Amino acid sequence: MKARLNYLELPVADRARSSAFYEAAFGMAFTNFGPSYAATMTGDTDIGLEADPASAGRAALPVIDVDDLTAAEAAVRAAGGIICVEAFAFPGGRRFQFRDPDGHELAVAQAD
């Protein structure tokens, strides 16, 4: 299975303010996906900004890109990971979230 870190989702208090900061500080361009979410779309390691408290985690959420989501979920479970958000669809693919043995929350995604 191919896997690489391709995304980092950050919980933010204000999507517009955070987008403006990263644009001014680093020249990053964000695409808005509704009132509470924006993301860079460079195709490299992108950054997402989640301002909806109901959807945002308490910490940064690393996202690992895989070519087989079902196999990755089985491997995470077999290795002792705990699925904390079941697989769901999002624009461009599907993903699930898990906690590793140290309690870190990560996501695993497969593009459409």
Global pTM reads 0.82
The whole-number average pLDDT for the span 10-19 is 93
Provide the token pair at 108.
């695993």
Cβ neighbours, 10 Å, residue 40: 21
Provide the token pair at 22.
């990263």
Name the burial class of residue 64, with classes exposed (0-12), middle (13-18) and buried (19+) by CB atoms within 10 angstroms of its CB. middle
Mean pLDDT for all residues in the chain: 93
Strands 46-50 and 61-66: unpaired
The whole-number average pLDDT for the span 37-59 is 92
Residue 57 confidence class, pLDDT cut points 50, 70, 90: confident
Q: Is there a contact between 76 and 98 (Cβ–Cβ < 8 Å)? A: yes
